[in-house]
Amino acid sequence: MPQPFGARLRTAMDQRGPLCVGIDPHAALLRAWGLDDDIAGLEAFTRTTVDALADRVAVLKPQSAFFERFGSRGIAVLERAVADARSAGALVLMDAKRGDIGSTMAGYAAAYVAADSPLASDAVTVSPYLGFGSLAPLLDVAREHGAGVFVLALTSNPEGREVQRATAADGTSVASVMLRHIAAENARSEGLGSVGAVVGATLGAVGVDLDVNGPLLAPGIGAQGATPADLPEVFGAAVRNVVPSVSREVLRHGPSVGALRDAAARYADECRTVIG
């Protein structure tokens, strides 16, 4: 059996610092780098980011949508980025936020976490709002291949509240239900589990138990206003399992490789100080 994602993630964060850097080649960032918003610009942006960071950060998180918008040529760039980043030692978290049922979910599993896929990643983000049970085909394949799954739980976008903060008849929030399912998935894990939750770093004290014995991806640091110093308030005792995620506040320092590395190193050091 392959080594579980949770164990590999813990080792990577111990060795490289607890930081995930997004690869978000949207049009504004390409222009800021002096690149055209076309396939050549996408390739240059992605190659520079991977070359600068894949041998030193724990996790790289490509946002699939920004590659998909270029069609098959964009997906080809994404495939190469995933392979190159993993070869350099970074764990790749595919930010795809897929969610469906039955054979369709099995298809997403084959695309993102099966070892023989051109897009095979160390982990993938998913949406559970067709019911947590709908994730079973992907969770099963991820477990078989030692991959991780990050489940949307408490996101920082204001629109998320109407679903995630909604309550059942017993007063339990939908987000709390999802967190309990995640904890159950990790119940038999030795060390850090491989099923994680996505919880926005901008939320402040969330008032729910976040100790799911799995990793907690914390987007929102940097451009969205959160800082590493905010993490203990949001995550409490579970802060030890947080994977802080930064995108624009690192990427804006490109296309200089040295500046990208310096920015990532600063955030990794800040996060290490807070998380330990």
**pLDDT-derived band of residue 225, with 50, 70 and 90 as boundaries?**
confident
On the 0-12 / 13-18 / 19+ scale of CB atoms within 10 A, 55 is: middle
Query: Under a CB-based contact definition with an 8 Å cutoff, are residues 245 and 20 in contact?
Result: yes
pTM for the structure as a whole: 0.97
- Report which DSSP code applies to 117: S
Do residues 276 and 235 make contact, with C-beta atoms less than 8 angstroms apart?
no
Spell out the long-range contacts of 156-165 with Cβ–Cβ below 8 A and sequence spacing 24 or more. Answer: 156/200, 156/201, 156/202, 156/203, 156/219, 156/220, 156/224, 157/200, 163/129
The model's pLDDT over 34-73, given as tens digits with 9 standing for 90+, comes to: 999 999 999 999 999 999 999 999 999 999 999 999 999 9
Cα 16–2–141 angle (5° rounding)?
110
Report the CATH fold assignment for 5-271: TIM Barrel (3.20.20)
CA angle 168, 170, 175 (to 5 degrees): 45
61 has catalytic annotation: no
Please identify which of the residues 26, 73, 80, 97 carries the catalytic annotation. Answer: 97
How far apart, in Å, are the Cα atoms of 273 and each of 66, 232, 259, 268, 269? 32, 11, 21, 9, 6
pLDDT (average), residues 136-143: 98
The residues that bridge with 154 in the sheet, in sequence order, are 199
Report the mean per-residue pLDDT for the chain.
96
Per-residue confidence (pLDDT) for residue 224, from 0 to 100 = 84
Length of the chain measured in residues = 276
- Helix then strand then coil, in percent of the chain rounded to 5, is 50, 15, 35
